[in-house]
Amino acid sequence: MKLQFYFFLFCICFSSQLKAQKFNSMIMEDWVNTNWVNSTRLTNTYDGNGNLLNEAIDSWNDTTKVWANNIVITLTLNSNSTVNSMLTQEWNADNNSWEDVQKIVYTYDGSKNVLTQKTQMSLGTEWMDYSMTTNTYNTSGLLTNSVDQQVDFLTMTMKNYSQSLYNYNADGLLSQTTSQTWNPISGTWVNNSRTSNTYSSAKKISSVLTEVYTNSVWVNMKETTITYNADGSTKATLDQNWDVTLSSWVDSSKMLYSQYSDGSTYQILATDWKPDLNTWVNVSRTTYNNGPGSYSQPELVDIGQLKVFPNPFSEVVTLDYKSLKAFSIQIYNSNGQLVKNIEKGEPHSILNLATLKKGIYLFKVVSSESQKTVKLLKYK
């Protein structure tokens, strides 16, 4: 399931950064009982200029052995080919129709940099503003600050939630990203986590260090090491977690990248390290089929200390939260109603949410040092 999580996270990242990946289709499989089993399929549609217009996400029905409608994302373009809006719909099998879920509307500066990104949630007959991201750039056009605001369901106004600060090397390469959360009591931004990049002589990222801010000190959490082939394409990424007891890095997961000789597909294999078996074990794999234009591989994605997957989900959700503090888990529906509260969350929690209705839910993890919220879609 790990690669499935990264895939949907990649889709979210694409929505935020508007970086279209040039492939016709992508199929994901899970490793189950020593066999590869279909999981998810994504199919892209482009216009004559190679601009992405539509993404269809299908789920594999293991009973009927066919692909079933799940989610469709439709893009509306401006005259200069920038994305004006992005509409997400989910398939209602009972009504045999597509239903609106979410819409994102963008604004730009004169250099086509995204200035604002407003996310709206469908309430059936109307749209409700849910969140807003505002970006700031320096004179070189590099992103320096992104402020995220979310709607306060009590006042129905946008309020500060989190921000990301970006620092660059002298040559313009991103050196560090610091994430902060808004403290409404003190009216200040509070450090939460940060990632620091190191580069090879070829100016490619060789490692990414993730740290969390605890008791006014930055503490190691995870390190990702990236290796490349001779042609500059990604060969592998290795994730290691910091073991406080051993004061050292320990293997966690690894992703292996391969390209077929004809160049028509690109495949990524995800594996997990099993210390009890002293070996790497398959988790999932994804295969890309090239589309129009040049192909660019998915970017490495990391959301820091909080992971919730899969997204969308049907019944069961896995939550990983690497925190040194006690925390609670709160789940809200699209109306702001608390539908589930776990006062004492576990670092690795498996939540059975089969009884919840289809729709959008907010997963909030709250501790004495910070709070994080992710938005998930329950599709059945």
CATH label of the domain that carries residue 199: 2.40.128.720
Count CA atoms within 13 Å of residue 163 on its CB side.
Answer: 18
In this structure, the answer to whether residues 206 and 270 fall within a common structural domain is: yes
Of the pLDDT bands very low, low, confident and very high (cuts 50, 70, 90), residue 257 is confident
Instruction: Please give the residue range of the domain that contains residue 366.
Output: 306-380
Confidence of residue 30 (pLDDT cuts 50, 70, 90): confident
Mean pLDDT of 14-41: 72
Average pLDDT on 298-321 reads 58
Task: Specify whether 299 is located in the same domain as 310.
Answer: no
Position with higher pLDDT, 375 vs 247: 247
Q: Are both 104 and 122 inside the same structural domain?
A: yes
- Same structural domain for residues 14 and 160? yes
Q: Kindly report, residue by residue over 329-348, the tens digit of the pLDDT.
A: 888 776 566 788 887 777 66
Token reading at 157: 């106004």
Q: pLDDT-derived band of residue 5, with 50, 70 and 90 as boundaries?
A: very low
Nearest-CA neighbor of 91 among 119, 76, 72?
Answer: 72
Q: Are residues 47 and 117 in the same domain?
A: yes
Report the pLDDT value the prediction gives residue 368, as an integer from 0 to 100. 62
| Contact between 268 and 259 (Cβ < 8 Å) | no
In this prediction, residue 348 carries a pLDDT of 65
Residue 278: what residue type?
A: N
User: Which H or E run contains 85?
Assistant: strand 83-92
Structure-token pair, residue 27: 């199929």
Residue 16: in which H helix or E strand, if any?
A: helix 2-17
Give the pair of three-digit tokens for residue 140. 């070189």
Element (H, E) at 185: none
Q: Are residues 31 and 141 in the same domain?
A: yes
CA neighbor of 196 nearest in space, from 158, 172, 215, 222: 222
147, 134 in Cβ contact below 8 A? yes
Shared-domain flag, residues 175 and 322: no
pLDDT, residue 325, reads 65
Q: Of 96, 27, 30, whose CA–CA distance to 67 is shortest? A: 27
364 band by pLDDT with thresholds 50, 70 and 90: confident
Instruction: Look at residues 202, 201, 200, 224 and name the one whose alpha carbon lies nearest to residue 211.
Output: 224
**DSSP secondary-structure letter at 8?**
H
We report the CATH number of the domain holding residue 332 as 2.60.40.3580
Domain boundary among 304, 334, 361: 304
- Among 304, 322, 342, residue at a domain's last position: 304
Same domain for 185 and 141? yes
| 182 and 323 part of one domain | no
- 91-101 residue pLDDT tens: 888 889 998 88
Distance CA 107, CA 203 (A): 31
> Quick one: DSSP state of residue 300?
P
Q: Are residues 251 and 351 in the same domain?
A: no
Cis peptide upstream of residue 292 (ω within 30 degrees of 0)? no
Buried-state track 307-320, b at ≥16 Cβ within 10 A, e below 16: bbbbbbbeeebbbe
Strand partners, 338: 332
C-alpha of 103 from chain center: 17
**Which pLDDT band, with edges at 50, 70 and 90, does 21 fall under?**
very low
> How far is the C-alpha of 37 from the C-alpha of 26, rounded, in Å?
14
Look at residue 60 and tell me whether its pLDDT is greater than 50: yes
List the beta bridge partners of residue 158.
151
Mean pLDDT of the chain: 79
Q: Coil, strand or helix: which one is 51?
A: coil
pTM of full prediction above 0.85: no
Let me know whether 237 and 373 are in one domain: no
Q: In this predicted structure, what is the pLDDT of residue 144?
A: 94
Are 293 and 375 in the same domain?
no
Answer with the one of 287, 304, 321 that is the final residue of a domain.
Answer: 304
Query: In the predicted model, is pLDDT for residue 309 greater than 80?
Result: no
Taking 80 as the threshold, does the pLDDT of residue 218 lie above it?
Answer: yes
Give mean pLDDT, residues 269-277: 89
Helix, strand or coil for residue 21?
coil
Per-residue burial over 157-186, b = 16 or more CB atoms within 10 Å of its CB, e = otherwise: ebebbbbbbbebeeeeebbebbbbbbeeee
pLDDT tens, residue by residue, 137-152: 999 889 999 998 888 8
Indicate the number of domains in the chain. Answer: 2
What is the mean predicted confidence (pLDDT) over 294-314?
49
Determine phi and psi for 4, rounding to 5 degrees. -60, -40
> What pLDDT score was predicted for residue 262?
53
